[in-house]
């Protein structure tokens, strides 16, 4: 079963609006990472947040981590057409040297 589950599966918003995606996971983790993928190409790393961190920012991106709820959120502010992509969370679990990806949120920015 998937360790990380993104929500929603798909999201369409107007350009300029903010987009929020959530990721829930099942077991305790070392860290959580967010990646972006443009139409079936390679993934691009966005942010890594460690289990002892609660919030991280990178440009228009803001990631939060709530280990008590086993969840993370990715906020993209002032969305642009170029943000249209699939977004994945990936967790590195304490008990295992594996990275597990969720199935992703497909974000579509409308002009």
Which residues bind to other proteins, rule: CB under 8 A? 2, 30-31, 33, 35, 40-45, 48, 88, 92, 96-104
Q: What is the C-alpha separation between 30 and 24, in angstroms, rounded?
A: 14
- Is residue 31 within 8 A of residue 98, CB to CB? The reply is no
Pick 79 or 105: Cβ nearer other proteins = 105
If 0-12 CB within 10 Å is exposed, 13-18 middle and 19+ buried, where does residue 104 land? Answer: buried
- Is residue 59 within 8 A of residue 6, CB to CB? The reply is no
We find the least distance from the C-beta atom of residue 15 to other proteins, in angstroms, to be 27
Pick 15 or 56: Cβ nearer other proteins = 56
We find the least distance from the C-beta atom of residue 64 to other proteins, in angstroms, to be 19
Pick 18 or 38: Cβ nearer other proteins = 38
We find the least distance from the C-beta atom of residue 11 to other proteins, in angstroms, to be 17
Pick 12 or 94: Cβ nearer other proteins = 94
Q: Which of 33, 41, 17, 21 is nearest to 107 (CA)?
A: 21
């Amino acid at each position: 079963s998937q360790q990380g589950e993104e929500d929603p599966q798909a999201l369409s918003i107007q350009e300029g609006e903010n987009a929020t995606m959530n990721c829930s996971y099942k077991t305790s983790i070392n860290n959580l990472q967010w990646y972006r993928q443009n139409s079936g190409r390679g993934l691009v790393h966005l942010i890594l947040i460690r289990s002892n961190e609660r919030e991280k920012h990178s440009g228009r991106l803001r990631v939060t981590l709530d280990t008590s709820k086993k969840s993370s959120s990715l906020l993209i502010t002032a969305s642009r057409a170029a943000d249209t992509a699939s977004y994945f969370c990936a967790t590195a679990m304490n008990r295992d040297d594996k990275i597990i990806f969720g199935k992703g949120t497909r974000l579509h920015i409308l002009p």
